[in-house]
Structure 1
């Protein structure tokens, strides 16, 4: 028997998913303005300013009781520490990819991600897949294999982004905590390391905060562009099946790919075209199979 989410909850979840993935799709534009800042320093600023913003939102939404209650559960804090490490590494690799001219590869990673989410949903959450959905996952694996075969190297940025974000989505779905409280705790857990690194860069005169007005404002803005899409994502994850979340993921890489090829003029060879065609076909097959499954 297939369990369905309440209709109103599903509609709200879909809205949150569209907002989150569309914002992530436009992220390269923002990070390109900060191309001179090392990826590690950018991640630290994302953590610091996100934490401050989330604390403010937590106060507005009056969720202090839930926030302090969470800290009394070592198990939940430990789980969120794990998700903090995963998402911080994901941020760092993504920024590195964007600012080293590999937006096309980052988009490949986020095209693969929904199918990895489907696979995790099947293996870990026992969400049943039909034949078409299984074939879609296999086609994604063939696409990556095609890339490795022709270029002689694993597209490690794409693979890492897909695996790390799918794992993050799975963990956050399993952790029984409200999205904003969970995100606040995640950023606060990473805050000491982030403050330490930014402080070190400031003392040694190698940091970028305060060196230029525009750069400084953009670094502060990291809090908004980081926290809001993640908050939308976690709200969507609580309302939708993990496999349904994967369905909307194509929005982000489509925007990223368009930016990389059309706006930043990154290479897009015949092999890239074949790899992406396999991925797009897999997504199309998965989408059709998912619709057929819902109609059962």
Structure 2
């Protein structure tokens, strides 16, 4: 139970960071989405590699690569995971900077439902009766949002599916979270570096061609990317996928409030009704987990 509690804390921390990251990307609105993406990939690789080396875990990183290569399924699964998360980042950054923050939040409201279903069908995870009701309430809330949107929210579903499949793949690969992310970003870094070179050669790069603030923000995209992903990876390794999914509602809720309160996007009665279902589901889910913890402690005390 202690490991699971630590996992919950790490997952919550990751989702809170992700929830507030749109503020960060909005401050890079003068930079193209593609350049922000390659900056995230390149600087995330440099950041994670430096941390691995500073922790004197370089030899473990080499061992991880050897083990991955020996297990071709794991190797290529992690490669696919790196492509999925890169595509997810590109869509996300583009959506935020184009003013689609509410549709972005919808994507990350749909994602937990997909993660829960993946956990049930692929990993044979079980839900309690209270958690089944919570899932149903959340599904109703998301359905209301989706229907009210008026047209098929392809962006939301693309974000949801790419991150859900990424989470499923990561769940099934047992790697140290930091070293795993180093390898993930290593896979895609040559492509990112090649694209950055092309940007500089064609005089389209903003990095080192603009102001100091932009340069610093682009460099720190490495930390902004790596920190929540490492926390997410650690949490997903020690928690059921359905629980990781439900906690994810924290991030899009923060995004929604940012979109409505800070960036002036619309929030009507339909949104309120939808989120009433989703927040009720979260409260029920959290309450059921709290009840399980209390009941298990009582059982231990009786022994």
Q: TM-score, normalised to structure 1's length? A: 0.90
5+ residue gaps, structure 2, are: 297-303
Aligned: 1:47 with 2:46: no
Partner of 1:131: 129
Tell whether the 8 Å contact from 1:147 to 1:155 is kept in structure 2 after alignment.
Answer: no
| Alpha-carbon separation, structure 2, partners of 1:184 and 1:211 | 28
| Alpha-carbon separation, structure 2, partners of 1:149 and 1:29 | 28
Partner of 1:187: 185
Structure 1 residue 156, shift from structure 2 partner: 2.4
| Alpha-carbon separation, structure 2, partners of 1:140 and 1:265 | 25
SS of the equivalent of 1:281 reads: helix
Matched residue count: 290
Please identify, of 9-18 and 28-37, the stretch whose mean Cα deviation from structure 2 is larger: 9-18
Tell whether the 8 Å contact from 1:133 to 1:289 is kept in structure 2 after alignment.
Answer: yes
Flag as ranges the 4+ runs of structure 1 deviating above 6 A: none
Tell whether the 8 Å contact from 1:130 to 1:293 is kept in structure 2 after alignment.
Answer: no
Tell whether the 8 Å contact from 1:106 to 1:157 is kept in structure 2 after alignment.
Answer: yes
Partner of 1:284: 283
Partner of 1:264: 263
- 1:223-242, aligned counterparts within 5 Å? 223-242=222-241
Partner of 1:113: 111
Partner of 1:82: 80
Q: TM-score, normalised to structure 2's length? A: 0.88
Please identify, of 102-111 and 209-218, the stretch whose mean Cα deviation from structure 2 is larger: 102-111
| Alpha-carbon separation, structure 1, partners of 2:275 and 2:123 | 28
| Alpha-carbon separation, structure 2, partners of 1:227 and 1:258 | 24
Tell whether the 8 Å contact from 1:136 to 1:286 is kept in structure 2 after alignment.
Answer: yes
SS of the equivalent of 2:126 reads: coil
| Alpha-carbon separation, structure 2, partners of 1:168 and 1:128 | 21
Partner of 2:301: none
Partner of 1:29: 23
Partner of 1:170: 168
Structure 1 residue 293, shift from structure 2 partner: 5.5
| Alpha-carbon separation, structure 2, partners of 1:159 and 1:293 | 33
Please identify, of 68-77 and 195-204, the stretch whose mean Cα deviation from structure 2 is larger: 68-77
Structure 1 residue 292, shift from structure 2 partner: 4.9
Partner of 2:213: 214
| Alpha-carbon separation, structure 1, partners of 2:247 and 2:269 | 26
Alpha-carbon distance change, 284 to 119 in structure 1, aligned in 2, over 3 angstroms: farther
Alpha-carbon distance change, 149 to 248 in structure 1, aligned in 2, over 3 angstroms: closer
SS of the equivalent of 1:26 reads: helix
Tell whether the 8 Å contact from 1:48 to 1:191 is kept in structure 2 after alignment.
Answer: yes
Name the Cα RMSD after superposition: 2.0
Partner of 1:71: 65
| Alpha-carbon separation, structure 2, partners of 1:10 and 1:290 | 11
Tell whether the 8 Å contact from 2:113 to 2:139 is kept in structure 1 after alignment.
Answer: no
Alpha-carbon distance change, 159 to 132 in structure 1, aligned in 2, over 3 angstroms: farther
Please identify, of 97-106 and 237-246, the stretch whose mean Cα deviation from structure 2 is larger: 237-246
